[in-house]
Structure 1
Amino acid sequence: MRSLRTPVLSAVATAALVAGALVGGTPPAVAAPSPDLSIANVTAHLQQLQSIATANGGNRATGRPGYKASLDWVRARLDAVGYTTQVQQLSTSSGTSYNLVADWPGGDPEHVVMTGAHLDSVAAGPGINDNGTGSAAVLEAALAWAASGNTPRNHLRFAWWGAEEQGLLGSNHYMRTLPAADKDRIELYMNFDMVGSPNPGYFVYDDNLAGNGARDAMTAYYTSKGIAWEYIDVQGRSDHASFRSQGIATTGMYSGGETTKTAAQASKWGGTAGRAFDPCYHRACDTTANVDTTALDRNLDMIGHMVWLHADKDYGATTPPPTTPPAGTNLLVNPGFESGASGWSGTSGAITSSASRPARTGTWKAWLGGNGRTTSENVSQQVSIPASATAASLAYWLRTDTAESGSTAYDTLKVQVISAGTTTTLRTFSNVGAGAGYAQFSHSLLAYRGKTVTVRFLMSEDASLQTSFVLDDTSVTTS
């Protein structure tokens, strides 16, 4: 899973809510008996990924030989059972990376159900929980489907993404290069990034956008098995974000990373309170010893259930292509931050209603900096610029307060656009020339029409005096 300082949690579904669903609620119907996928097979897959890492410098990171070896091994397994596989190559700052996409023959090509996981590790270790567990579980679901003899109503596609740890580069590349008509055919994308954490939780993606029907099917499955769950808003931390930004329904599951398990969560799920869900997150100790087999087995069967369920889901008539937003529509989600961090990715706590710095309108804003120590903070959001746009503009209001003096730029805020792995800085603000109150700034984005880009506000502060960059009332509009 892509690293952020802290994951941003949504409202949590408590044990009482789970109990309510069991006793008095009416959860969505759970389909006919789910497949019991083989935990022994998945364990063998993880051992193979560990062996690949061990033979290739201890990791399976983007640009390193262990990543390509991992991809080649997964592809060979899929080719052997009848999948049509495609390898997509992309360039990154860490070297060449690859996506692997596998299609099962048959099923209605107008209704595609995708299941995916990122295959790369960080350079520090073999990445067995993050994300060998997701990759191996998705592989086993694909192999089990091939062996089942079932004929799906919908077309099944599985994917293993490269360069997720570099900023979702693989899945972004896939969606950026996929023809619009093919995007419209994807009914659902399910993402599995870390599903066997050693001190596990059971977190279901709840990003308040498309895909709540699939989300509810997942929580209903856990409830039917007596497994408590919580919602989590993972925002831009994993590859589902590349699909969500295109309006495609998404869901997924996460067993926890670097954050600390609370006493309430330990009471509900077992494990150790006050300890990270994965103490080896992004470390050399993320080996085959860093997996909870019980959690992995439960989540493996959940993944099988979701694939089987949505393979035969009736999606009805083909959904028409999305219409171009009317001219002047603000394409950003939650542009004034009044819904907290919803729609935005980046540094936890940067979007705040703290009264110490006033918002321009309302009570919420993005407050970057103001720490008086060496820090880097950011907020960002993906946005698609219509190909038909004749004008496109990013606008925002900024207030800069500083304790610095003189003409040296000690602290900076960069306004950036990230497209196809390339970062362009539109403007750099600093402590120099900080003034009273908010001022509005704007930049043309017309060069990015027809593309999905990330708009990012990136703050860097040095070790001395503080500078606060307070951002509010953002917009991306087109005509």
Structure 2
Amino acid sequence: MKRSLLAPAAVVAALALVAPTSQAAAPAPAPLAAAPDISVANVQSHLAQLQTIANANGGNRASGRPGYKASLDYVKAKLDAAGYTTTVQTFSTSAGTTYNLVADWPGGDPNHVVMTGAHLDSVSVGPGINDNGTGSAGILENALAFAASGITPKNHLRFGFWGAEELGLLGSKHYVSTLSTAEKDKIELYLNFDMIGSPNPGYFVYDDNPAGNGARDDLTSYFTSKGVPWEYIDVQGRSDHAAFRSYGIPTSGTFTGAESTMTSAQASKWGGQAGRAFDPCYHAACDTTANVNATALDRNIDAIAFMLWKYVDVDYGTTLPPAGGNLLANPGFESGATSWGGTTGAITSSSSKPAHGGTWKAWLGGNGRTSSENLTQTITIPASATTATLSYWIRTDTAETGSTAYDTLKVQVVVGGVTTTLKTFSNVGANVAYAQFTHSLLAYKGKAVTVKLLENEDSSLQTSFVVDDTAVTVG
């Protein structure tokens, strides 16, 4: 994992737990053979090989140094022998020439790519076995297990082993930057695994892309089903999911902790040692094969398998919904926050503001103080659509006066990392009677579109924006 550029206190804040938010569920997968129990012994064997490589190359596997290239050659040989199509991508860094390794499993719909990645490089002062031999070895063994399974995937399966993560996420950034817009749009999901065997482990699930396609919730459900307590974490820009997330590709992943210390509550929950770093050998020479918790490693590699076996069979087809059908899930909010990401509590059944239909609605603002709230949901506009329309009902009431827009609600769409504001409502011209508004989304057909409601309120005098009965309909 890349060293944070934040001060220590800010690092703790960056790794602070965030409250769970609901999000759009992934399409229901067709029945598929259960994911196998991935061999932790095989993964440990890969880690032993990476340790041997580091020992023979100055004690590290850092990008631009011989140990990194030897690590890449080892992984590539394993994947080639299993039947993967591998591509070595060369790029330059301040430390010299280095490489990404991308492996594609033959078959599966090339228009729907499920991708899993981990960085393969270490820092220059140590062998990097937990950081991030564990992630790399974990996805390698999963790739080999999938090749041996005989499964014909519905979606195309791809693995990325990134170079120069420790130099600033350079490998994954380079990879994403070289893809055309069309190729980026084919990636339905990117899962990242960076440090999954910390010696004083926590069980964290990435929560910094809640508007994704349900992957975050699938990971937490998996851990729950295994009796493993988990916590959400926003790892911000500290690992290789960041380049994918910035483009708008749904991301998630797991993490067992780095230099931050475990709290007493976490120690009680996970059986660890309070006041001790999750990984006391983070970015140090002692990050060897002795620096890995086998139980945490085993649990995480099986979580990877669960996600791969599920998502290679998810139906990402572009079948149009029935006439008048709605691409948005829970469009009238009657199931609470289900399928919506964003600010906790913004969806409510409070009787203080009436719903347009039913009981629940989205109520943003109304705080009478500086605030920013949002709600999001991601859908895909079918490529075959001839019409695509976003509609919603909104009412606004305010304590503000005059013609200055102090408080606003923006209706936006985010596509490929680009945000477009379709309409801005404000305290000016507020009307407590519901009115319906519509916007064409046809320009985004064939693309993943995040519908976003973004509210900003100034320091005094409330304005309430109440939205209900949303829809994205296509024909």
| Amino-acid identity (%) | 69
Three-state SS of the structure 2 residue aligned to 1:160 is strand
Contact 1:209 1:244 in 2 (8 A): no
Following TM superposition, by how much is the alpha carbon of 1:13 offset from its aligned partner in structure 2, in angstroms?
6.0
Q: Could you tell me whether the CA contact under 8 Å between 1:78 and 1:143 is conserved in 2?
A: yes
- 1:33, distance to aligned residue in structure 2 (A): 3.1
Evaluate the alpha carbon distance shift between residue 47 and residue 63 of structure 1 in structure 2; reply closer, same or farther with a 3 A threshold: same
CA distance in 2, matches of 1:309, 1:338: 39
- CA shift, 1:180, in A, is 1.1
5+ residue gaps, structure 1, are: 18-25, 320-332, 341-360, 363-382, 387-479
1:13–1:245: structure 2 CA closer, same or farther, 3 Å change rule?
A: closer
CA RMSD of aligned residues (A): 2.8
Instruction: Tell me how far apart the structure 2 counterparts of residues 338 and 208 of structure 1 sit (CA, whole Å).
Output: 21
Aligned to 1:2: 2
Secondary structure of the corresponding residue to residue 79 of structure 2: helix
**Residue correspondence of structure 1 range 403-422 to structure 2 within 5 A:** none
Aligned 8 A contact 1:13 1:231 in 2: yes
Q: Please tell me the residue identity of whatever aligns with 1:146.
A: A
Structure 2 stretches lacking a partner, 5+ long: 321-341, 344-369, 374-405, 408-415, 420-475
Cα deviations across residues 254-311 of structure 1 (Å, max 9, x unaligned)? 0000000000000000110000000000000000000000000010100011111101
In structure 1, C-alpha distance between the alignment counterparts of 2:319 and 2:56, rounded to whole Å: 47
Partner of 1:190: 191
1:46–1:27 distance in 2 versus 1, CA, 3 Å? same
| Secondary structure at the counterpart of residue 112 of structure 1 | strand
> Contact 2:34 / 2:309 at 8 angstroms: preserved in 1?
no
Find the counterpart in structure 1 of residue 314 from structure 2: 313
Residues in 2 aligned to 1:155 and 1:384: alpha-carbon distance in whole angstroms: 23
Q: Deviations over 1:35-67 (max 9, x none)?
A: 100011000000000000000000000111000
Alpha-carbon deviation of 1:338? Answer: 6.3
Alignment match, 1:459: none
Residue 233 (structure 1) aligns with: 234
Output the CA distance in 1 between the equivalents of 2:139 and 2:319: 27
State the AA in 2 paired with 1:48: Q
Post-superposition CA distance 1:219-246 (Å, at most 9, x none) = 0000000100000001100000010011
Alignment of 1:278-357 (within 5 A): 278-317=279-318
Structure-2 separation of matches of 1:194 and 1:262: 19
Alignment of 1:113-152 (within 5 A): 113-152=114-153
- Give the TM-score of the pair, scaled to structure 2: 0.64
Measured after TM superposition, the shift of residue 11 of structure 1 is 4.0
Aligned: 1:94 with 2:100: no
Q: State whether residues 13 and 230 of structure 1, in contact with CA within 8 Å, keep that contact through their aligned partners in structure 2.
A: no
Cα distance between partner residues in 1 of 2:220 and 2:297: 16
- Secondary structure of the 2:289 match is coil
Change (3 A) 1:92 1:251: same
Letter in 1 for 2:285: A
Residue-by-residue CA offset, 1:11-42 (whole Å, 9 max, x unaligned) = 4469xx9xxxxxxxx99999863310001100
Report the Cα distance in structure 2 between the residues aligned to 1:46 and 1:240, rounded to whole angstroms. 23
Instruction: Assess if the C-alpha contact under 8 Å between 2:108 and 2:154 holds in 1.
Output: yes
Please state if 1:159 is matched with 2:165: no
Q: Partners in 2 of 1:28 and 1:229 — Cα distance?
A: 24
For residues 298 and 339 of structure 1, what CA distance do their matches in structure 2 show?
38
- Alignment check: 8 A CA contact 1:61 1:123 kept: yes
* Inter-partner Cα distance in structure 1 for 2:26 and 2:231: 15
The whole-number CA distance in structure 2 between the counterparts of 1:63 and 1:232 is 31
- Most deviating of 173-182 and 284-293: 173-182
Which residue identity is paired with 2:227? Answer: G
Q: Secondary structure at the match of 1:171?
A: helix
C-alpha change, 1:85 and 1:135, in structure 2 (3 Å) is same
User: Which residue is equivalent to 1:74?
Assistant: 75
Q: TM-score, normalised by structure 1?
A: 0.63
**Aligned position for 1:244:** 245
Q: Distance in 2 between matches of 1:88 and 1:193?
A: 20
- 2:179 paired residue number: 178
SS in 1 for 2:87: strand
CA contact (8 A) 1:122 1:165 kept: yes
Alignment of 1:4-43 (within 5 A): 4=4, 5=6, 6=11, 8-12=14-18, 33-43=34-44
SS of the residue aligned with 1:61?
Answer: coil
Q: 1:12 to 1:228 in 2, by over 3 A?
A: farther
Check conservation: 2:194, 2:254, Cα contact below 8 A: yes
1:409-439 deviations in Å (ceiling 9; x for gaps): xxxxxxxxxxxxxxxxxxxxxxxxxxxxxxx
- In structure 2, the CA distance between the partners of 1:225 and 1:186, relative to structure 1 (3 Å rule), is same
Report the secondary structure of 1:245's partner residue: helix
Pair 1:227–1:59, CA change in 2 (3 A): same
| 1:28–1:217 CA contact under 8 A, matched in 2 | no
CA contact (8 A) 2:210 2:216 kept: no
